[in-house]
Amino acid sequence: MPQLALYTFGVLKSPLSDPAPLTRELHDRGAAIYRKLGRHPGYLGRAVAADRSRGSHFDLDWGAWGEFAVPTWYGKGRTVESTALDATLSLWTDLRSAFTAIYTGLHREALNRRYDWFERTAHPSYVCWWVSDDAIPTWQDGVSRLEHLHDHGSAPHAFTFHHAFAPDGTPTELRGRTGHAS
């Protein structure tokens, strides 16, 4: 049965190495948010680096999730001192589970504050797509799908919760949505 891949990407207002108080607040909340998401029904896993003390996102070993990549429009640094981004790559059993996890609880509270921490851009901040049940999406998959979404809008290849597609490529709707899904 296909699984839902979800890639998120945001440009922080300050570098990770020298975060402003608001960016520090985001990262302080991160551990609790990830613990909560990790226990949510439908959650299958996320990309986690083998050794986070080795360098920036670009230097880390992400295992089966592949080499770390960013969209072409990301213009901030790639070193430990200059990296100013937050990205996630995760797998879910289905669309509803991922949507509910993202748009409720601690993660919803964080989304309500996203513009305190992240720059506003003309680019989408997340993308969904379906993968076979034995596939592990890569960072490059996420980047190419996010760029496709930006360039072409929602399609079976790359979509949002608001304009979603079923695994067979037919448009679908999350009935009884809570929160804002764009």
Give residue for tokens 């592949």: 66
Token pair recorded at residue 108: 């919803």
Please state whether the predicted TM-score (pTM) of the whole model is above 0.85. Answer: yes
Q: Note the pLDDT tens digit of each residue in 45-97.
A: 999 998 776 678 998 999 999 999 999 999 998 988 898 999 999 999 999 99
Helix (H, G, I), strand (E, B) or coil at 2: coil
Q: What are phi and psi of 116, to 5 degrees?
A: -75, -30
SS3 170: coil
Which amino acid is present at 147? E
